[in-house]
Structure 1
Amino acid sequence: MSAIRVLVVDDSVTIRAMLEEVLGREPNITLVGSAADAATAIRMIDELYPQVTTLDIAMPGIDGLALLDAIHLRTHAIMLTSHGEAAANSIDRGALGFFPKSEILRDSKRLVKMVRSAAEGKATKLRNAA
């Protein structure tokens, strides 16, 4: 099985570092890059072809939901948020799942499982997700 190619998109350097730590230590997951804004993310998606992209909903400029609208046909997206309504809206707009930022380190196994499912194009239903 080839490695799952993942792009991390979040304006917070701390969140990007946590995601890179959690996902970077997993076998069969390759981090192809990280972006702090939507314009950089779009360019990287077009150049690097990630199978899965983690997206922050609240970013300056183009937010994660607008970015999701632009990319959901080119990569599978998992939204990272603490906003319940926005998370549910992201599923309606093409995300395969959403994951609470506050759980990245505490529940990293569930996040990794979600990334693996998203790579297969499978939506993930989460308990207590937001």
Structure 2
Amino acid sequence: MFRLLPLLILLSACASTHRPLRLASFPSGAHIYIDGRDTGFVTPITLDLQDKAQSQLELVLPGYKTAKRTLNLHEGREVVPYSDSTVFYLTWRLPFFLATDAFWGPIQRYTVEQPGRVYVRLDRS
């Protein structure tokens, strides 16, 4: 049993510092720049953005005006005590499914409040 403990700790998921963001534009095919750097992708796409307070988004498509948006990535957190998380009386009382940062504390479930999805209609230049 104790031989498995290091393996469980290594295999447990760490807390994510990236947030998924779905980007779409009309017309599609706009080049995506985040914080002034070309991502190498075009719309529509789902990107994993680093967890930052703010990011600058630019969508560039030849023949259309460059669309600029400020992304405010906020994270909502709901904390559930471990004792409240077991709903069935035969459930193991050991937190094998927790991430390493929450192994000894309460269960923390993260949800992204915004933006999550961005749609931009590009204007002709």
Alignment TM-score, normalising by the size of structure 2? 0.26
For the pair shown, the structure with the greater C-alpha radius of gyration is 2
The alignment's TM-score, normalised by the length of structure 1, stands at 0.25
- Structure that is richer in strand per residue: 2
